[in-house]
Structures are given as C-alpha cells and as structure tokens.
Amino acid sequence: MKKLNLIFIFFIFISFQSYAQVILTPRVGTTFSTINFSDELGGGEKSTTGLLAGVELGFGLIQTGINFTQKGVKGEGDGLNLTITTNYIEIPLLARVGFGSDNFKVYVNAGPSLGFALGGKLKGESGSVSAEEDLTFGKGEDDTFENSIDFGLQFGTGIGYTVGPGQIVLDLRYGLGLSNLFETPDGANRSDFKSTNNVFAVSLGYAILLGGK
C-alpha cells in the first residue's frame, strides 16, 4: 500500500509540472454514502448524508485536488439506531474529457482516489436516549476501524456554465471504495469480510482559469 501511495503522489506531481494552464475550482456539496458490509460483518445498512468541501485543479485532461469528504453508514435493529460518520482528506486523480462550447460544457471524468482518515463519530439512539463517541483508526484492540487508508475509484459527470470570469460547475460523482475498513482474518476469504465505502456526491463549484500556455 505504501508503494501504491508513492506512485499516486508521483503522478500528481507530474500533472503539476506538465501544464502552465491551471483551472482552480473551489467546491462544496453533499455526500450520500454507505459502507458495503459482507454478511459476516453486517446487513441492512442504509445511507447517510455528509459534507463535501475542497479545491480541485485541472491541468488539461488531468484533474486532481484535495477534498474534505464525510462518509458513513446507518444501521437499525432492536430499537437501536446507529450512525457512523467518518471524515477523510481525499485526493482524486481523474482523467476528464469535456464537450461543448466555451460558454457551456458537459464533461465526464474517471480515475483513482486516495483517502486518509481523520477520525469520525459513532452516534447511537434508542428512544429518547442518545450517546456519541469518537471513532479511531488503527490495529489496537479499542480502535473502531483497522484501515485508515481508503483507496478507490471515482466516476462522474457534470456541466459548466460561464458566469463572469469563470464557470459555475455542477458535479455528480460516484466513489467506489476498494480498501477494506477491516482487515481479513488469516485464512479467511476476503469476500466474506468485505467492508468498503460507497459514496455518491453532488457538488457546486466555480472554475477559474489561473494561467495560460
């Protein structure tokens, strides 16, 4: 995993060096996410909403950046409602292709992403009683999740409409997690202990051209 992280960061560095023309897009939005548990770990999970905020940079056909992304899941059973909210710093590396005029564009994008967990909250409610505790990531006995790295794939589409010196951008994106939040026990089948993030995100941003080549 460490070697994969270094390769990922290397390609981002190359992207920065390849283009003098940079498109800066601050964006904010909402996530709708769940954790895809196998039958061994869960069942009956429901999606939860969270916050998405960040800045993305476009270099020709390459788009990267840094985002604060909330993920999580809801679960219900025996009169108890549980909500898990996890916070990540996420770096996408996407290939982006646009169609249309200078004033109105439609685009599609796809590529890998790398997330680093910052922590989160576990909230439980039963009737009028509620409790909340911090989530932790690590391999200790008291840690909630074992894996703090969330490697995955993102697929999306969106539109951009020119307003003033830049474009208002509406982005729709799906994130498919590939990293298990819990490690597979020795001798067990990985598919029996699946625990991956799945996120659908909607965001609104404003794209500004910073330079030309």
**Which residue type occupies 154?**
Q
In the structure, what pLDDT confidence band is assigned to residue 145 with cuts at 50, 70 and 90?
A: confident
Strands (E), 78-165: 80-100, 104-126, 129-135, 149-163
Across 7-30, average pLDDT:
70
- Going 135 to 198 to 113 to 153, the CA torsion angle's sign is positive
**Pairing label, strands 80-100, 104-126:** antiparallel
The label of the residue with tokens 């840094």 reads 66
**Which residue range(s) make up the domain with 26?**
2-209
In the structure, what pLDDT confidence band is assigned to residue 150 with cuts at 50, 70 and 90?
A: very high
Residue 61: strand, helix, or coil = coil
In the predicted model, is pLDDT for residue 71 greater than 90?
A: yes
Give dist(CA 41, CA 53) in Å, integer.
30
How far, rounded to the nearest angstrom, does the alpha carbon of residue 80 sit from its chain's CA centroid? 28
In the predicted model, is pLDDT for residue 4 greater than 60?
A: no
In the structure, what pLDDT confidence band is assigned to residue 213 with cuts at 50, 70 and 90?
A: very low
Assess contact for 108 and 154: CB atoms under 8 A: no
**Cβ neighbours of 105 (radius 10 Å):** 17
CATH number of the domain at 38, please. Answer: 2.40.160.20
* pTM, entire model: 0.84
User: What is the percent of the chain where pLDDT is above 70?
Assistant: 81
In the structure, what pLDDT confidence band is assigned to residue 177 with cuts at 50, 70 and 90?
A: very high
Give dist(CA 130, CA 82) in Å, integer.
10
Q: Which residue has the higher pLDDT, 174 or 130?
A: 174
- Split into its structural domains, the chain has a count of 1
**Which residue type occupies 134?**
D
DSSP conformational letter for 190: G
